[in-house]
Amino acid sequence: MYDFDWSSIPGALPFLWDGMKISLEITVTAVIFGIVWGTLLAMLRLSPVKPLAWFAAGYVNLFRSIPLVMVLLWFFLIVPQLLRSFFNLDPNTDVRLTSAMIGFALFESAYYSEIIRAGIQSVPKGQVAAASALGMSYSQAMRLVVLPQAFRNMVPLLLTQAIVLFQDTSLVYMSALADFFGAAYKVGDRDGRLVELLLFAGVVYFLICFAASQLVRRYQKKLNAHVAH
């Protein structure tokens, strides 16, 4: 039987924490950018201006049809070259984290766009008509009437997508970036305790994601209770 030895973990915790900070940094950046760009894409898809709707639909369908690991690989190979050229960076400048953030943000915005579009469509169209009757323009109606209601309904789905995004950050390991999973793998490979470190990483991912999902579920119940009243 395999002889488990967990002695490497205590000494590796500072390195693992540094990796966790990278994972969280990618997650937060991708969530913020994804929601902002996703909201714009959702509004473009609902726009009566056909070229704008076609652009948004093409963008969303493209990124939703490509595996995330392939997108990250493209950005790992292409974005560093572009950043070094545009900003005249030193060839030795490490831009892997920036590349990963850009890749995740652009990829996740396609999924956030669909969530937000569904949320906008869930708001009764009569509310836009009522806002127009009050003298609001379409953009004002969307900003002041539709989007606040849509986002309130969408919060559980947006948070759930953020949990999935946090799990997916482990894919930056393929670019040799020391996120939490990558840090665990490196320590385990260095100390010959890969099984223990990957099991530990799995437990940490489970605890964080399970706790976050329970909080989302509690929020969903409160939201449903509020709507029922």
The tokens describing 72, both together, are: 């990250």
Average pLDDT (190-209) is 93
Report the predicted TM-score, pTM, of the whole model to 2 decimal places: 0.87
Kindly report, residue by residue over 91-142, the tens digit of the pLDDT.
Answer: 666 778 888 898 899 999 999 999 999 888 888 878 878 888 888 877 788 8
pLDDT tens-digit profile of 147-187? 888 888 888 899 999 999 999 999 988 777 889 999 999 99
Quick: pLDDT tens for 33-43. Answer: 999 999 999 98
Instruction: Report pLDDT for 92.
Output: 67
Would you say 119 and 150 are in contact if contact means Cβ atoms under 8 Å apart? yes
How many angstroms separate the CA atoms of 209 and 77, rounded? 30
Domains of the chain, start order: 9-228 (1.10.3720.10)
Distance CA 158, CA 34 (A): 10
CB 25, CB 179: distance < 8 Å:
no
**Considering the chain, what is the average pLDDT of its residues?**
87
